[in-house]
Amino acid sequence: MLEWVIIAPILAAIACVPLRHHPRVLEAVAIGGALISFVALALSVFSSDVAVHPVSALFGILYMDPLSLLFTSATSVVALFVFAYSRGYIRAEVKEGTIKTENLWTYYALCLLFLASMLLATLTSDLLVLWAAVEATTLTSVFLISFYGNKESVEAAWKYLLICSLSITIALVGLLVLGYGMQQAGRPESFAWSDVVAAAHLINPLYLKIAFAFIFVGYGTKVGLVPLHVWLPDAHSQAPTPVSAFLSGVLLNAALYAILRVYPLAAQNPEVASFVSNLFLFFGLLSLGLASLRLYSQENYKRLLAYSSIENMGIIALGVGIGGPLGLMAALFHMVSHSLLKPLAFFYGGIVSLAYGTKEISKIGGISQALFGIGQLFVLINIGIAGCLPFGTFISEIILLAAALSSGNLLVAALLVVFTTIAFGTFLLRSSQMAFGPLSGPAHHYTPDLLTRLSVWGLFALALLGALLAPLIIIHLVNPAVQVILGGS
């Protein structure tokens, strides 16, 4: 059953080719592919206690333990809402002439293949297959970033392709160094995750440090960590809004997962663990600090959200760097909360941009008057991604602060408070100006259709539920994943 998590979106993508002249059927096939994938994942989970007996399929190529379950669940859930939201949003852009009807099949096929590659990344048992899956996410998403075909989107896509292709090559060098270290330790050159973890204590610490440094830089570029983030603001701002939700809410997680998969190798050696911890702390603080300071200067709303993603990835990196059960718990729960909230922010931003005909913050005002029921929730979601109640980002940041203080990282704790406060203030100010400022008047009469509204309300309810049920999520999903990172099994 687990194989259908990946097979379903691939088959749906293939079906888009003969159905390219039937846009309504295309929409149903795309949503159906994501739905079948989600159901297959749910059935795989309910058929076995993943924490005790990890699930495998396709001759052991696919493997799901608590860590992969957490990341795969976030991907699958967000995908459902993205495809549901896409129907109304893409229809509106077709109506405006921004997208041609004959290109719809390309959009949905690429989105489905993008989803399949991200699911493969979080479900494979082999580090080389994981590397190939992360590279596949680049090859499928680059055409989505350039989908509008204008100068800005093509430039953003080229920058994304060049930087991420170079970075994935660097990650491959790290894996080859890891393989060489295993060979020198007298272990077979297998990149199966279980074999690598079993051999970790025999590998020369120097090889482990070099390998992890290359892997961290390679995958960290795709996570969006500063100073490796330069592709991210352009890609997020130029892609269609549903794709931006995918990029920010799911793609960054897939690259983060690739790093966390090799983290247990370092955890077994105190010297290497200290080196890895310092890497995460340095790049985490750099990302959090620079992104929070750059937020206010952004005039494009989607670029604002892109820098927010960099800031949130920095927070997650800090949690991993602090380490221990508490730091890792904060990092993983923040990942889940961000995955639910950031697509929601893009969803609301997409509705606003369709109504006003622009993404420029200075040209948008009076949302609460122009779009009934949107303005107030727009502000709430924006301050939510900056770590405000009633969402899980607030809870994870409090846990992270407790982890920093309890581990003696007082400087980290102080900078966390300062930079998250700056981010919160910026989002409160910017979103309030857009929602409650002078009415600038929508350029278009746009009313979201029923499925668009259901996707927005559904994801909003799920984000709230994630905070309300935080103890259960932490106990049953996050903590088992933390144990995998710390213990390797």
Per residue, the 3-state secondary structure of 68-125, as one string, reads HHHHHHHHHHHHHHHHHHHHHHHHHHHHHCCCCHHHHHHHHHHHHHHHHHHHHHHHEC
Give me the torsion for CA of 316, 318, 323, 325, rounded to 10°.
-50
| pLDDT of 489 strictly over 80 | no
How much is the average pLDDT of 111-124? Answer: 96
| pLDDT of 103 strictly over 70 | yes
Q: How far is Cα 387 from Cα 393, in angstroms, rounded to an integer? A: 5
pLDDT score, position 366: 86
pLDDT score, position 47: 82
pLDDT score, position 443: 60
pLDDT score, position 49: 78
pLDDT score, position 373: 78
pLDDT > 90: percent of the chain: 70
pLDDT score, position 182: 87
Please state which of the ranges 38-42, 122-126, 400-404, 446-450 shows the lowest mean pLDDT.
446-450
Which of 389, 470, 370 is CA-nearest to residue 428? 389
For 70-86, write each residue's pLDDT tens digit. Answer: 999 999 999 999 999 99
- Greatest extent of the chain over all pairs of C-alpha atoms, in Å: 70
How much is the average pLDDT of 289-296? Answer: 93
Sorting pLDDT into bands at 50, 70 and 90, what band is 444?
A: low
Pairwise pLDDT comparison (267 vs 348), residue with the higher score = 348
pLDDT score, position 266: 83
Sorting pLDDT into bands at 50, 70 and 90, what band is 488?
A: low
Tokens encoding 8: 């379903």
SS3 43: helix
pLDDT > 70: percent of the chain: 99
| pLDDT of 455 strictly over 90 | yes
CB 347 within 8 A of CB 456: yes
For 5-31, write each residue's pLDDT tens digit. Answer: 999 999 999 999 999 889 899 999 999
| CB environment 394-427: b (16+ within 10 A), e (fewer) | bbbbebbbebbeebebeebbebbeebbebbbebb
pLDDT score, position 239: 92
Sorting pLDDT into bands at 50, 70 and 90, what band is 421?
A: very high
| pLDDT of 442 strictly over 80 | no
The type of residue at 11 is L
- Partnered with residue 62 across adjacent β-strands are 57, 124
- The residues spanned by each domain of the chain are 4-487
Please state which of the ranges 5-14, 109-118, 174-183 shows the lowest mean pLDDT.
174-183
Q: Which DSSP letter does residue 64 get?
A: E
C-alpha pair distances (Å), 209 with each of 84, 191, 268: 43, 17, 12
Q: What rounded mean pLDDT belongs to the chain?
A: 91
Pairwise pLDDT comparison (48 vs 342), residue with the higher score = 342
For 371-414, write each residue's pLDDT tens digit. Answer: 877 888 889 999 999 988 889 999 999 999 999 999 999 999 99
Sorting pLDDT into bands at 50, 70 and 90, what band is 355?
A: confident
| pLDDT of 268 strictly over 90 | no
